[in-house]
Structure 1
Amino acid sequence: EKVPTLSNRELARIYSDRGLAWRALGNLPQAVEDLTVAVAKCGPLVSEDGTPPSPEVTEYLATRAQCFFEQGLYDRGEMDLTTALGVSPSDPHLSYKRGLTRYAQGEHRYVHVIMDLKRAIANNLAAPHQADLYYHMGLAYANLGKHPLAVPCFDAAVKRSGDKPHYMHERAKSLQVVGDHLHALEDFTRVLEVQPRNARALFRRAFSYKALKAYEEAADDFESAKEYEPSDPRLVVNYRQVHHVRCIVLGPAGHEDPSTAMQHQQDDSKGVGVGQYGGAQLVTTAA
């Protein structure tokens, strides 16, 4: 009996499925190997006679990019997503994923992050991903020191997220930097209703209380922050020295997400403020 011959397209799907299985098992290098075969089975991305590759190639490239991302190989992940966008330039999910991959590469990519995320929105990214998209766009703007542009992004993220505490925390920080202390105070308080021992939120809320001349409340927050995180010297303030300080930035935007907090061992704040305070950064002038 003759054994049926599988087409390259069918073989590509088999290799892709096996790659997904390897990924689920945590064997990312093996997953990449199978997905590489799947991509190759789709045919050349640019052929001499103009024949397009198999339409599944963007799916396989995106999955391989995710495997690279999970290994911290962000440059290789970005290359795969850029290749996929060359095949399907209006795919919003590819733009969104490339934006997140570029965000992971650090501050030198934030402008490109914003461009990718705007492109994803323009191409109607699916609603379930929009909160995360706007959150990361807000982080990129905030880390560039563009807090007036970060605030509406965080507004959009909060509106779509069901009030995730770290979304509100980041919005509060940007509101504080632009001088909107009343709304910053509201957001910090909402965060603390969910996370009452969040020393960073208490510390930053104290500055909004101070700006609103609620000095006793500010002092209470400063003392509580120090009590909850006694090992962090940045939370110990000299009340005379901070009198003219709008706020002290403890670290870059993006460090309030509890799922990633352990990755941030260095609070190396960038792009805002005029002085150093125990490893943190002072904000003393209008943003």
Structure 2
Amino acid sequence: MVSFDTDAHLKEVLSSFDQCEDQRFKEIMRSVVYHLHACVSELKLSPEEWEAAIRFLTETGQICTSKRQEFILLSDLLGVSTLTIGLNQHRGDHCLEETVEGPFYWEGAPEMALGSDISQGAVGEKAYYFGRVLNSADEPLANALLDVWSGDGEGHYDMQSPDEDRMQARAKIRTDSEGRYSFWSIKPNYYPIPTDGPAGKMQAKSGRHPNRPGHVHFKISTPGYHSVNTQIFVAGGPYLDTDCVFGVKRSLIVDFTRHPAGSAPDGSYQDAPYYTANFDFRLTEYK
């Protein structure tokens, strides 16, 4: 029996990209092909195993909708999202760390005034968020835009609700002239990622838990500065050390201080206990 020459086969496939005029695309495709062939050769995958991989990717695409991006979830669970962010984030030594966007971002959140309650009826314990948006020299950035979203106190996002058109715990807030932001929402809870699709089934078969620690998402932008996609995490909560998407950064863990009912920092009266979370975001200037 004549043995299959894997090296010659790889060389032939790689050379098929020689005429590609887009040099970056050419570089990416050749690298992907090289490492994919190396993986298949190392594992000696059978045709049946490769067909199973193709079915997995097909099913991942088939479950995607305008409000569910299973490929993003798969990327998150494999640690690739965090890897690409870590390789490309724009920050100085004292500026803000970035982390994964996740699969629950929803375009078109309403812009609300400073101090608004963005929870819009989401269940959970009330929390008051405040702080500043600064540059690397600790100077305030006025009119910076914070695009905010989170799950509710039970770990569910509005996009998972039967009422598909109702946004909750998400809004856009702009900083004031001193770079300050503030809003009311809920204290987020840990939650499992969706487990009914291919990514979740892969997670279960791998013997890994499906949980994310409690967190709030922020996209922050202002002219002249690198936009940032990040999260803040509830200090003391579960899964901070074993986040299933590898997104926790120590610099983003924030104390949520519990207060009894009474006067809140914004002057309002709260008739039930509530939390406060204070965090400053630092952006990096374009060079």
Q: TM-score, normalised by structure 1?
A: 0.23
More helix per residue: 1
TM-score (norm 2): 0.23
**Does 1 or 2 have the higher relative contact order (CA < 8 Å, sep 6+)?**
2
